[in-house]
Copies of this chain bind each other. A is one copy, B any other.
C-alpha cells in the first residue's frame, strides 16, 4: 500500500473552508429561521415540497423521495410536525399501506410567511458575496463531486486506488 497522499496547502484551505462555511451558514440560517417563524430548516424543506406540488398533498413515499430522506427520518419528522399542526397524515384509499401527507392551513401560512426572508438570507449571505463566475464554478464543483458520489463501483474503486473504469 502506497503512502497516504495528504492534502496540500491549497486543498486544505478549500476543504476547511467548505466545512466551516457549511457549519456556520446552516447554523445561522437555522437560528434566524427559527426566530422568525418557529420553523426548523427541516420543517422548511418539508413544507416547500408540499407547496411546490400542484396538489398540496403527497404520498408519504413520494415526499421521502423528493426530499431524499430516509422513510424513517420522514416518519419521525412528520410525527413532530403533525403534533404542531403543520401537516396532517391520512391513510390512502388506493393503497391501505400508504399515507397521504397534506399541508394544513397553519402549515401553509407558516411557509408563506417564512419563505421570503429565508430566500433573502441566502442571497445576502451567499450570492451577494459571489460573482457570476464563482456561482457557475460552484455549481460545476458540486456536480462533479455528486457525480463521483453516485458513480457505480465507487467503493471498490476506492479500495483499489484507481478510478472506476474496469480493467
Interface 9-residue window, one of A77-85, A86-94, A95-103, A141-149: A141-149
Across the interface, A127 reaches (CB within 8 A) one of B11, B68, B132, B133, namely B11
Which interface class (under 10, 10 to 19, 20 to 34, 35 or more) fits A? 35 or more
Q: Is the CB of A144 within 8 A of B158?
A: no
Across the interface, A17 reaches (CB within 8 A) one of B124, B130, B142, B161, namely B142
- Asked if A25 meets B143 with Cβ closer than 8 Å, knowing A10-B136, A124-B158, A136-B10, the reply is no
A residues at B contact (CB < 8 Å): 4-7, 10-11, 13-15, 17-18, 20-25, 28, 68, 115-116, 119-130, 132-150, 157-158, 161, 163
A133–B74 alpha-carbon span in the complex (Å): 39
